Structure 1
Amino acid sequence: MNKLVISLILSLASAPALARDGAYYHDPDDLTHRTSWMSSIKDETKITRISIPGTHDTASRHYGDITKNQTLTIRQQLDAGIRYFDIRLKSVFGSLHLYHGPMYLWQTFNEVMTTTRDFLNEHPSETVLMRIKKEQPDLTLGFNFEENINHHINLFSDTFWNTSSSSYIPSLSEVRGKVVILKDYSSSQVTGIRYSQFDIQDKFNMSNNWDLYDKWQSVKGHLQKANANQSDMGYINYLSASGSSYPYFVASGHVSNDTWASRLSTGLTTPGWENSYPDFPRTACFIGICTISFEGTNILTRDYLTRSDMVYAGIVAADFPGEDLIAKVIDLNQKPGIVKDDPFAIRNAKYQSCFDFRGGVSSNQFLSLNPNCHVTGSQVFKYELGSKQLRVNGTHYCLDVKDAQNKHRQPVIAYSCHSGKNQQWQLNSDRTISSLMSGTRRCLDVDQNRLDSYGNPTMTILEYSPGSPVQQFDKFF
């Protein structure tokens, strides 16, 4: 019997646990686009007061697991909502090449900046904070690194934010459509903001996999520090590490780099080691015995950011960030003082028509789309951050899921504002508007089968469909 129990414990301790999680992503395909999420943030907000998703070793997509930190291109990261880049350069004759340690990353700084400039021209509400670090000694007979970087800054002078003080923190309005350099190299020229001015957590060396918990403790401690202080100096929190562990393992806790891979076991079980690694998950439980599995910093951070007391994280720089992590960082900005609170109209991406209560709003009236976006009367809404209600501006009516039923194709109507969940909505960075009722996640959608008296489609709730233009909406003021 004792041998059987011991055998069971050993098998549980080594059992993998399936771990598909949206906070970690190791595939080449696009994530959900969050191309204009900064448009909802007030102009006067200091950029260091914004919670910003970023990537560590942004361009390191090549070679094997030991040097690979990302799978998405620069443009894919920008489209996904990443607004902090970690760019490491080497001066090679008249050019600047991207490197990870001694490894050439098959990309030039000119190419990175061209891609970033194009994105910002298309999405002028956004800004990109770009750490620039000299990674390797110069290989040049002409320009040295300082001369070379200054040449590129002049080359892209229309894109780089210009300042006369390296300690000045700009407001978002000053840098929309611009790249802000976080300067991590020696130069006599005043350019951007000093990288060292930020409060930075970058505990990057791990001697074995079990050091992952210490890394997580460093990440968590910095999240707590940033949230408590929220100073203008700014915070950068790297979720990444390597050394004797692969970067994908640190990010995911997985047995392999695959997005769908299982978690690796720590080799410990409960209840014998119930006080060990308290933030790591207990998995594969059987007759009261559970495996203690590793968990990646991406997942642990995403989960920590869901706490009700978390309102700010600063810059969160990750390897292989998934859209759940990106979204959670961005969503921290949905708070008073940061997000715009002016009344606005809401336009559907597919039909280019606006929310309206035709003929004037009244109780139980269906919400519909009006192709004539005049942005007056019952086309104007105000989002109440505290109650999470979408109120018809200047009235006592709010958007309401009829009869408080979280069902497929349930109509959305006007109803007197109250505290029910069926009047609570989340305006998401992927341009969806989701109901906060419990149960299946459903979002505002267009119902072509239920028309108003003018022959226009009405609004309903349907199952969340990321990337579908029917579920994507834009605010305009």
Structure 2
Amino acid sequence: MNSFHLYQLLIFQNVSEALSSKYVSHKWIKKIENDRLLSAISIPGTHQSNRYLKTSKPMFQAWGLHNQLDAGVRFFDLHVSSDSIKYVKTGSVQESETLNYFLKTMWTFLLKQKKEILLLRVTPDEGAVAQVTKLLSRDNWPVWRDKVIPTLGQVRGKIVLIQSSTLELGLPVHITELNADMDTKETQMRENIKKASQKCEQEMMLTYTVANGESEPLKIAKTLNKQVDNYLLNLKGDKNRPHCVGIIAMDFPGPKVIQTIINFNGKLWEGTHISSCNLCN
């Protein structure tokens, strides 16, 4: 693989556990006005956000939670089994302590970045619903559980819950996903983002651009993430450019596609140099 193709791979689809400091985006939501509805901003997210350990097969992310947060990801997607809120031995971030670990890490991040907002969608299995509901209902977490879409000013410094198929705490959301037809994934992705852009000013919209039902999420992300990036950049020049595209949740997102989504909230940068992200720092 030559250096150009390696560069493309790294910026669109992340395969490295490390995050370069030049791609850190701690404060981008801070720069958006308080009176804008949460649904009306464009938010980069990760699918199966906790599946980054080498023991997690298949893996869906290369970065752990700290690097996802540092890169500007603000939506997180967790699937929780019935034993996954039990605490295991200190110092080992096992899948079985993921929810507690995520809540503590998110809270620590928000204590430092008080103007940011984190969105969390938890899908517990049938045996975990009661435990997860109890945990997320505790007053000691800075959590927004209401069903009414807030303004940014109302939820700065908070974790906003997004409803899932098994958990009704938080905001209802309209979800679009890709089917398993590889030949039409790009067309599906474009149609789903377009649909989200038409409704996001009044409704929470979540677009999964991931390998739904596929066994090779890394291979599919290599193509899809670049297509997402190209499509959003093409929308930039459209005279009828939408104001928002909602939440876009990805497998293995790299810094460029994350920054492209972030920049949809303001003036998109001129040219293609990744470090000119307007809202990131």
Task: Report the TM-score range of the alignment, normalised by the length of the smaller protein.
Answer: 0.7 to 0.9
Q: Structure 2 residue aligned with 1:112, among 83, 99, 102?
A: 102
Q: C-alpha separation between the residues in 2 aligned to 1:94 and 1:330?
A: 32
> In structure 1, what is the equivalent of residue 91 of structure 2?
none
> In structure 2, what is the equivalent of residue 297 of structure 1?
224
Say whether the 8 Å CA contact 1:70–1:320 is kept in structure 2. yes
Say whether the 8 Å CA contact 2:209–2:248 is kept in structure 1. yes
Q: C-alpha separation between the residues in 1 aligned to 2:85 and 2:17?
A: 31
Cα distance per residue 1:400-423 (max 9 Å; x no partner): xxxxxxxxxxxxxxxxxxxxx9xx
1:226 Cα deviation from its structure 2 partner: 2.3
1:185 Cα deviation from its structure 2 partner: 4.8
Q: C-alpha separation between the residues in 1 aligned to 2:204 and 2:85?
A: 34
> In structure 2, what is the equivalent of residue 52 of structure 1?
43
Give structure 2 stretches of 5+ with no counterpart. 89-93
1:233 Cα deviation from its structure 2 partner: 1.0
Q: CA RMSD in A?
A: 2.7
**Once superposed, which parts of structure 1, at least 4 consecutive aligned residues long, lie more than 4 Å away?**
63-66
> In structure 2, what is the equivalent of residue 42 of structure 1?
33
Aligned ranges 1:152-301 → 2 under 5 Å: 152-155=135-138, 157-163=140-146, 166=147, 168-186=148-166, 191-194=169-172, 198-204=173-179, 206=180, 211-252=181-222, 296-301=223-228
> In structure 2, what is the equivalent of residue 404 of structure 1?
none
Q: C-alpha separation between the residues in 1 aligned to 2:105 and 2:96?
A: 15
> In structure 2, what is the equivalent of residue 82 of structure 1?
73
**What secondary structure is seen at the aligned counterpart in 1 of 2:81?**
strand
Q: C-alpha separation between the residues in 2 aligned to 1:96 and 1:239?
A: 32
1:170 Cα deviation from its structure 2 partner: 0.6
**What secondary structure is seen at the aligned counterpart in 2 of 1:184?**
coil
1:61 Cα deviation from its structure 2 partner: 1.3
1:159 Cα deviation from its structure 2 partner: 1.3
1:76 Cα deviation from its structure 2 partner: 1.0
Q: Per residue, is there more helix in 1 or in 2?
A: 2
Q: What is the total number of aligned residue pairs between the two structures?
A: 259
Q: C-alpha separation between the residues in 1 aligned to 2:45 and 2:214?
A: 24
Q: C-alpha separation between the residues in 2 aligned to 1:427 and 1:74?
A: 22
Cα distance per residue 1:420-463 (max 9 Å; x no partner): x9xxxx662333xxxxxxxxxxxxxxxxxxxxxxxxxxxxxxxx
Question: Is 1:430 aligned to 2:265, yes or no?
Answer: no
If asked which structure has higher relative contact order (CA below 8 Å, sep 6+), I would say: 2
> In structure 2, what is the equivalent of residue 348 of structure 1?
none
Q: Per residue, is there more strand in 1 or in 2?
A: 1
Identity %: 25
Q: C-alpha separation between the residues in 1 aligned to 2:250 and 2:33?
A: 26
1:64 Cα deviation from its structure 2 partner: 7.2
Q: C-alpha separation between the residues in 1 aligned to 2:72 and 2:104?
A: 18
Partner amino acid, structure 1, of 2:135: H
Say whether the 8 Å CA contact 1:242–1:250 is kept in structure 2. no
Say whether the 8 Å CA contact 1:48–1:314 is kept in structure 2. yes
Q: 1:118 to 1:216 in 2, by over 3 A?
A: same
Cα distance per residue 1:342-378 (max 9 Å; x no partner): xxxxxxxxxxxxxxxxxxxxxxxxxxxxxxxxxxxxx
**What secondary structure is seen at the aligned counterpart in 2 of 1:313?**
coil
Cα distance per residue 1:232-279 (max 9 Å; x no partner): 112211111154550011110xxxxxxxxxxxxxxxxxxxxxxxxxxx
Q: C-alpha separation between the residues in 1 aligned to 2:217 and 2:166?
A: 28
Partner amino acid, structure 2, of 1:67: P
Q: C-alpha separation between the residues in 2 aligned to 1:185 and 1:60?
A: 19
Partner amino acid, structure 1, of 2:14: Y
Say whether the 8 Å CA contact 2:205–2:247 is kept in structure 1. yes
Say whether the 8 Å CA contact 2:37–2:201 is kept in structure 1. no
**What secondary structure is seen at the aligned counterpart in 2 of 1:333?**
coil
**What secondary structure is seen at the aligned counterpart in 1 of 2:143?**
coil
Q: Structure 1 residue aligned with 2:130, among 141, 144, 147?
A: 147
> In structure 2, what is the equivalent of residue 33 of structure 1?
24
Q: C-alpha separation between the residues in 2 aligned to 1:36 and 1:146?
A: 33
Aligned ranges 1:323-472 → 2 under 5 Å: 323-334=255-266, 428-431=278-281
| Structure of higher CA gyration radius | 1
Partner amino acid, structure 2, of 1:153: L
Cα distance per residue 1:305-346 (max 9 Å; x no partner): 1121244211010011011100000000005xxxxxxxxxxx
Say whether the 8 Å CA contact 2:83–2:96 is kept in structure 1. no
1:298 Cα deviation from its structure 2 partner: 0.3
Q: C-alpha separation between the residues in 1 aligned to 2:56 and 2:95?
A: 14
Say whether the 8 Å CA contact 1:66–1:246 is kept in structure 2. no
Please, which moves more after superposition, 84-93 or 318-327?
84-93
Say whether the 8 Å CA contact 1:96–1:148 is kept in structure 2. no
Say whether the 8 Å CA contact 1:124–1:177 is kept in structure 2. yes
Say whether the 8 Å CA contact 1:53–1:317 is kept in structure 2. yes
Partner amino acid, structure 2, of 1:27: S
Q: C-alpha separation between the residues in 2 aligned to 1:122 and 1:64?
A: 31
**What secondary structure is seen at the aligned counterpart in 2 of 1:92?**
coil
